[in-house]
Structure 1
């Protein structure tokens, strides 16, 4: 049975969940509104073993549904143009969530996002968890993407010099416990080819369940 928090998060984030179809395209006003960082995501999808829900702006619904019969790779390639952003790309990600984070010791402290010692990638987050060395130098951090009241996504990064110490997994597990204590479900997304991120997720208690996510973003 799907966790209630995850169910409500997916309904809120996508506009509908679940589906028993291989692909169900839905229109959602969420695709026209700024997300956690103020940026609009004009297409988002989550695919579970039972099927995929693809969320797009309501005024693009008919155009995207015309792509539904295409092979998945062709659909994903055509999706940015179909939602009005031909210069953007569709990025795949492994979608993970945790209901029981790994029992690892805490590794960091919660700090204000305007802390001058933070790296630039952490500054857009409202909630930031940081590990430092004995001299107070930044080593690793986690930011929480607060998508809605039911589901919050975790992002983690470690400085090259601090890798291999287990800091990332400990920070992710620590942040996941906070999200669960607040009544939401923690999620974790990473590129399919990012083996290091996959290892962090597994060690922190975010198993792979065969779920994927797809999002249309500005090309990097």
Structure 2
């Protein structure tokens, strides 16, 4: 599941006539860099939610084999968007990913798949140390304990990619809700985990992030 429904307001004029996932980064639509990671890992079915300027995204994504879950008339937030898309995705654990980041290093989907343990976990989030983040303008999101369990606050940034068992999403009665409320429920049961990302990550959520991301793409990985 690719989250691509947002308004991209931090991008200012760049998203006045195009959705943020279609902004060019290194000569390609931003969302295409995310699709590279998905294809590289061999994910067989890909769904993207859309809302703002949905027609443009559908025109771009449908020829690429991506199924579109359009949110109308209202945007549903991450949890609500995933809940609407579940009939297209099934009820097994799945990847979700944002569409506004560039990665330098190993494929985060592959790392998550290798570390996923459904006996202990309901969600496993890729977490980037602040030292490995470009374009981040705020503090960290999480801390990880010695076993990898997540709690709020700390020096790790959620990289926007996770494996999630969607059972709690499917069961939630609300139509519009954030995945943050799902994570909080999972954390209370001790089943919310994070995985440290060993490379670098760039947030392309604001105009300055475009140049930073293009630098990351062209720089050799150390």
Q: TM-score, normalised by structure 1?
A: 0.29
Please identify the structure whose Cα radius of gyration is greater. Answer: 1
Between structures 1 and 2, the one with greater helix share: 2
